[in-house]
Structure 1
Amino acid sequence: MHRIIAAVLAAGACASSLQAQTDRIVAPAPVLTLAEALNRAGASSPFQDAAAAGIRAAEAQRRVAGLRPNPSIVGEAENVAGTGIYQGLRSSETTLGLALPLELGGKRGARIAVAEAQIGRAGLQAEIARADLRLRVTQTYNAAAAAQRRVTIAEEQVGIAAEVLRAARIRVQAGRASPLEEQRADVARISAEEALERTRRSAEAASGNLARLLGMPVGQLDRSWFDAVPSAGTMRPMATSGTLSVVAARADLDTASAQVRLARSQQVPDLTVSASARRLEQTNDVAAVFGVSIPLNVFNNGRASIAVAEAQREQSDAQQRVALLDAEQDVATAQADAENAATTARNAAGPALAAATEAARIARIGYREGKFGQLDLLDAERTLLETRTAAIDALAAHHDAHARLERLTSAAPLLKDDQR
């Protein structure tokens, strides 16, 4: 008796050990949340690197704009290789000096103003890149999460189809149904398995896209985030004057205005002053030479450049108004899409799904007991599948519209003029 008890205890301990090892092996993989995906993408995205490089380029351009013109070394040799007393170098006069251009009309300040406006625009472009990356990651994450939910439903449909086939076989073997019911149930099972294969392939592609975007393998995604049904709410108007697209158009207008100032400064001719030392070969004397050079604005007086800059400024001003109009329209459309998708999701994932689930449950019980026909069961199962699919589509559409709305209403950082 003691040996039997010891054997039972040993077997129990062995089973417990095997169970513990199995639990360790099949431990669920960590769930990747949307916040973690956004942080990961922001740390390794080439889009961010491109935006940062644009800021560095604009800052370097600002340093270039602040540089003054380089001086020139002037060298001349006169009265050489002539005739008479000017043969050879006997009467040569050699001049060596330095010429320095002097910018007039505020050209350097105008260049700096253009460069500073471009720095502000580059900073906005970096913010736009971050907002675009957030939208892209959210949409890709949403697509992958929806694909994983579709796989879950497809797997459950395969199980349901197998159960219907088993029930049909029992009915056929008992002589309570025609063999046609078994064949019809088998066709439904094959179709469910085929749909599962397609759904898994689509989910692998969606997860692969997210993995390539994040630069890391992707496992399970946050199901609670995707399945969260949005609560009912009224649409509230959202201000668009401070959004990224509108402020970026305003920054383009500031740059164009700075270009007009630069074009006008180009109308003022620059001076070039020079100071040289001249050596006379015959007397071996040295004399100072001073000079001033002023260009004549005869063929190009700068008016054409000013006309181009002013036309570009007018174009930027019109584009700013267009950007504001587009932002208002896009925000209104995204709000409507989000509200419509939320309404559909609440209905499909709420009362409609509950009713379809209960109808399918009753149809399964009734079919097993011979109270309902197979066509009634298949119709109930098809309605349940369509309702669950519609709920997933509505949730995905809501998350997508909400992500687009967040992108459209992303607030821009204050420009320098606004900060003053």
Structure 2
Amino acid sequence: MIRPLLIALAAATAATAAQAQTPVITPAPAPEAAAPAAIPAPAVPAAQAPLPITLPSLTLAEAEALLLERNLALAAARRGVDVARAQVLVADTSPAPTIGYNQVVGQWSEQSRLSGQYGARGVSPLNNAQATFSVLIETGGKRELRTRVAREGVSAAEAQLLDTLRGEVFALRQAFFAGLEARANLQVALANRQALNETEGLLRRQVQQGQIPEADLLRFQASRLPFEQDLAAAAQAYVAAVAQVAVQLGTDATRQRPQGASHDPLAPILAPLPFDLRGRLDARASEPPPREQLATAVANRPDVLAAARIAGAAAANARLAEAGRSRDVTLNASLGRTELSQDLPSGSRTAFASNQVGIGVSIPIFTRRLTDGTAAAATALQGQAEMQARLVLTQAQADVATAWASYLQARQLLTLTTAQALRRAEEAYQSTEAAYRAGGRTLLDVLDALRTLNATRVAANGARAQMLRALAGLEQASGVAGIAPRP
């Protein structure tokens, strides 16, 4: 875009005005007429133009690398995988046997019922003790089935971790692209402010020299309010977007870094930012795969895989419940020794101690209702999980269809905005400015044209950001990596 220079513009308009001027009586040369204070069209600012404050830069690739390390949702999902793996160790272990110990701790005798007690004494463990051992023997392959359920749980947890990563990367990209859009709009607003400041300075000089009335300067200053509001709104939008990126990276968005000295009124608004986003909204991306290929790829999307694996775990759990119909057996063994008095009334020999070895078997009974109910519930849960897996797959297919439509719309909007509307707005502004220099338009007309140009530039930034978001959405919906660019 051609940016007219104020000095050249003033000289050209002064020469035109001097030719049309009525000669004065005095022979002295006529003073130059006041040059119209045109507003130079703000050049399109560079995507990476510096802000009024100094901040560490952050690209999307760097942000994604930090997300893998710091994202809190990912950290929680990793803990879920650790829990599932620990459950495998628990499931792949037979029920622990139990041991027991019993002893008599006191003894006394009676001469008659409940009276005449005598000979009370405490009993040492060395004189009286009994040890027991009990072990449960599982039948029906319960241990193998239980382990299979746990391993299916690990597989599902790993798929859920990948799905969490997919969602968090998408959220990061959305916030990052919103930040790039806000930054581009902020650069447009800053360029406008610079152009308006130059024009206001020229108007002030013309008022001081008596070339124009002060009312023109006041009208111009009053007309600057919408531009200042746009600047403040763009700065606030950028702060909000950067704060959201900080959330995705597990960073404290309120932590201020040492900033360079700046007298810009915008600096206090931007000061709390932890970093400055770097990237290009106009980054080109290759054409995405065909829609049919993306629709086929959704079967490997992490959440679809997670739902299918949860259904697999439910099926394994149903088989485990069916195995509950096989009754488990509990074996018991005991060993006892007592040195308490063992004399029998009719005994001919005095017994010093009594030793005992015992063995027992126990089997649960009346378990049919319990096992039938457990098996029925497990079968119902399996059917529920299978329906949920089908629902997730259907939703994924719908996501691809929606994302593809959004991509086509974003591509059309980008072409319309950047190739037609933006060029026409620039030409309209240049035409209005030329007409103003020729005396056919007022300064307020130029301001209106500048506002239209600003709105079109902001819309172009929005179209570029929407294209990036649409590509990221297509990647997120299909689960196919490499579709969205890294600006």
Give your verdict on TM over 0.5: yes
The alpha-carbon deviation at position 210 of structure 1 amounts to: 2.2
Distance 2:416 2:226 in 1: 27
The alpha-carbon deviation at position 232 of structure 1 amounts to: 7.7
* Residue 14 of structure 1: aligned partner: none
Aligned pair in 2 of structure 1 residues 374, 232: CA closer, same or farther (>3 Å)? farther
Distance 2:288 2:75 in 1: 39
* Residue 313 of structure 2: aligned partner: 255
2:412 pairs with one of 339, 343, 359:
343
- 1:68 matched to 2:94: yes
* Residue 21 of structure 1: aligned partner: none
Distance 2:110 2:148 in 1: 57
* Residue 35 of structure 1: aligned partner: 61
Matched residue type, 1:45: N
Residue deviations 1:242-301 (CA, integer Å, cap 9, x gap): 111211110110111111012112222211112223447524343422111011034743
Task: Select the structure that is richer in helix.
Answer: 1
Question: Which of these two proteins has the greater Rg computed from alpha carbons?
Answer: 2
* Residue 270 of structure 1: aligned partner: 328
The answer to whether the Cα contact below 8 Å between 1:229 and 1:346 also exists between their aligned partners in 2 is: no
Distance 1:167 1:120 in 2: 71
Aligned pair in 2 of structure 1 residues 117, 293: CA closer, same or farther (>3 Å)? same
* Residue 383 of structure 1: aligned partner: 452
The answer to whether the Cα contact below 8 Å between 1:232 and 1:343 also exists between their aligned partners in 2 is: no
Matched residue type, 2:322: R
Secondary structure in 1 aligned to 2:326?
Answer: coil
Which 5+ residue runs of structure 2 have no aligned equivalent?
Answer: 1-51, 121-126, 253-272, 343-350, 482-487
1:355 pairs with one of 405, 419, 424:
424
- 1:322 matched to 2:391: yes
* Residue 221 of structure 1: aligned partner: 277
* Residue 299 of structure 2: aligned partner: 241
Aligned Cα root-mean-square deviation (Å): 3.6
* Further displaced range: 242-251 or 283-292: 283-292
Aligned pairs for 1:7-406 within 5 A:
31-74=57-100, 95-162=130-197, 182-214=217-249, 215=251, 218-224=274-280, 226-228=281-283, 236-237=291-292, 238=294, 239=296, 240-279=298-337, 282=342, 283=351, 284-298=353-367, 300-374=369-443, 376-406=445-475
Q: For this pair of structures, how many residues does the alignment match?
A: 384
Task: Please give the TM-score of this superposition, normalised by the length of structure 1.
Answer: 0.80
Distance 1:181 1:331 in 2: 56
* Further displaced range: 106-115 or 178-187: 178-187
The alpha-carbon deviation at position 103 of structure 1 amounts to: 1.0
Which 5+ residue runs of structure 1 have no aligned equivalent?
Answer: 1-25, 413-420
Distance 1:81 1:311 in 2: 61
Distance 1:231 1:188 in 2: 44
* Further displaced range: 208-217 or 340-349: 208-217
The answer to whether the Cα contact below 8 Å between 2:206 and 2:212 also exists between their aligned partners in 1 is: yes
Aligned pair in 2 of structure 1 residues 312, 148: CA closer, same or farther (>3 Å)? same
The answer to whether the Cα contact below 8 Å between 2:418 and 2:460 also exists between their aligned partners in 1 is: yes
The answer to whether the Cα contact below 8 Å between 1:165 and 1:185 also exists between their aligned partners in 2 is: yes
Identical aligned residues as a percent: 30
The alpha-carbon deviation at position 66 of structure 1 amounts to: 1.3
Task: Please give the TM-score of this superposition, normalised by the length of structure 2.
Answer: 0.69
The alpha-carbon deviation at position 97 of structure 1 amounts to: 2.7
The answer to whether the Cα contact below 8 Å between 1:169 and 1:182 also exists between their aligned partners in 2 is: yes
* Further displaced range: 205-214 or 336-345: 205-214
